Amino acid sequence: MTRRRALGRALLSGVLVGALSGCGTTLDSLGNDHSAAGGSGNSAGSAGSAGTTDNGGMPAVLLPITGPSSYPNTFATLLGKSDTEIRNKIQAGFDQLFHGTATDQPIYYDRGDDGAVIYDVLHDDVRSEGIGLAMLITVELDKRDEFDHLWTYAKIRLEQTSGPAQGYFSSFCDEGTGGPSCFDAYGMQQFVLALLFAHGRWKSSTSTPYGSDALTLLDLLQNKERLNGGVVDGIASAFDPTTHLVREEPTAAAAGYTRSALEMPASYALWAQATGNSFWSDAASAARTHILAAADATTGFAPMRSYFDGTPVPDSPGFTAQAYRTHLNLAMDALWGSPSADQIALADRMLAFFTKQGLDKYGGTFALDGTPIDTNRAQALVAANGALAVASSRANRADFVNAVWTQAIPSGDNRYYDGLFYLMSLLTLSGQLRVY
């Protein structure tokens, strides 16, 4: 049994894998990488000492947030699908991926008192991003039991309870065997967004302090260095205080560079509403600027790693599977705000590239200039391209949407990655990825 397989089995058995040992030069996981809340409504209750900082920009309670007045149902408008057809499609995908009975179907596994995990079958481990995306999916589908079980596991088995990284959540950030653990900024950002929506949809309580949990983690992502009195043992804030860009990892080693795939401008705009903290408005603007600056002028692809000005980090891989997250980030910005002309042009540029490749022929990874690297079909990319259609003005965007509709529910060894993107795409294209 490989070391990675042993680690994965240990996580599924409820054993916490060790603390951060750094993964700045490896691929990330999708990249083949307090006090009790009280009351109801939009009051989060006390956020605890980490969530009530005097100079960190965090309020004691969450403020109300608002989303758009309507959400486009692209399946209906472009494909003519009925509400019943769409509802059945989403339910079938959720049922199989969360509660499928065949051995090659589920990614969701109940762990009893430890909660539940999202299991990365291919890499044989449990990752914070998978749990975070699944929490977002379950709050959008009003699946509170599954949401609570996932968050329970993250709190019990992934959250660091002492040391400089206290409050961060462990994950894996590589694609090979025997790789190190890390603190994945993407997964922790998904936790914040999902908890914010859980607070808005289900309300916080003493037993389910969604609001204070969101505020506490958000405070850490911005202010870890201030709370620690500086960088300690290499642990840093997840966001650069000067540029407002998210770092690849919350470590000193990652200072100076980021990934477009980590940047979630639509989420930051909501965090600004929820906290009244202008840092997050600046983060949203910085993320939008960086995504555009890092994109190749011909393909629209961004390097895996780029400096804060958008230039590629030397020897950084090109368009790999982790980059599919950029599609979702652009789609969310289009759903929850008003995409700029430059964002629409970027979405059009990427879909034009895949159109030229052949809608039923393109592979999974490419160099920045579009040279194919892995020509194998990637279900997750098909799903991501479909979601990107909501940010595009291309005449053939319906073809990308239809490719999602006709796609089989992911199964087999790749079902973790493919399945999460499949469900996220279904929610995006049905108008059910909503702000709560």
Q: What is the sign, positive or negative, of the torsion defined by CA atoms of 72, 77, 83, 86?
A: negative
pLDDT at residue number 6: 47
CATH assignment at residue 48:
1.50.10.10
Give domain status of residue 268, yes or no: yes
Q: What does the angle CA 253 – CA 51 – CA 242 come to, to the nearest 5 degrees?
A: 40
User: How many domains does the chain fold into?
Assistant: 1
Q: Tokens 């956020």: give the residue.
A: 47
| pLDDT tens over the chain, length 436 residues | 444 444 455 555 544 333 333 333 222 334 333 323 333 333 333 333 333 344 477 888 999 999 999 999 999 999 999 999 999 999 999 999 999 999 999 999 999 999 999 999 999 999 999 999 999 999 999 999 999 999 999 999 999 999 999 999 999 876 544 456 899 999 999 999 999 999 999 999 999 999 999 999 999 999 999 999 999 999 999 999 999 999 999 999 999 999 999 999 999 999 999 999 999 999 999 999 999 999 999 999 999 999 999 999 999 999 999 999 999 999 999 999 989 999 999 999 999 999 999 999 999 999 999 999 999 999 999 999 999 999 999 999 999 999 999 999 999 999 999 999 999 999 999 999 999 9
Give domain status of residue 250, yes or no: yes
- 95 CB contacts (<8 Å, ≥6 apart)? none
Q: Which of 185, 187, 90, 75 has the alpha carbon at shortest distance from 138?
A: 90
Task: Please give the structure tokens belonging to residue 364.
Answer: 């999974």
Give domain status of residue 313, yes or no: yes
What amino acid is encoded at 87 in this protein? R
Give domain status of residue 1, yes or no: no
Give domain status of residue 4, yes or no: no
**CB under 8 A, 24+ apart: contacts of 355-360:** 355/394, 355/396, 355/399, 359/399, 359/400, 359/403, 360/403
pLDDT at residue number 180: 66
Euclidean distance between CA atoms 23 and 46, whole angstroms: 35
- Burial grade of 313 (CB within 10 A; 0-12, 13-18, 19 or more): middle
Q: Tokens 């911005």: give the residue.
A: 222
| Residue-range definition of the domain harbouring residue 326 | 40-429
Give domain status of residue 30, yes or no: no
Q: Which residues pair with 117 in a beta bridge?
A: 109
Task: Tell me how far CA of residue 197 lies from CA of 45, 334, 387, 395, 433, in angstroms.
Answer: 16, 18, 20, 33, 11
Q: Which of 259, 270, 130 has the alpha carbon at shortest distance from 200?
A: 270
Read off the pTM: 0.89
Q: What is the dihedral of CA 247, 249, 251, 256, to 10 degrees?
A: -30
pLDDT at residue number 181: 83
Give domain status of residue 7, yes or no: no
- Burial grade of 249 (CB within 10 A; 0-12, 13-18, 19 or more): buried
Give domain status of residue 13, yes or no: no
- How many residues does the structure list for the chain? 436
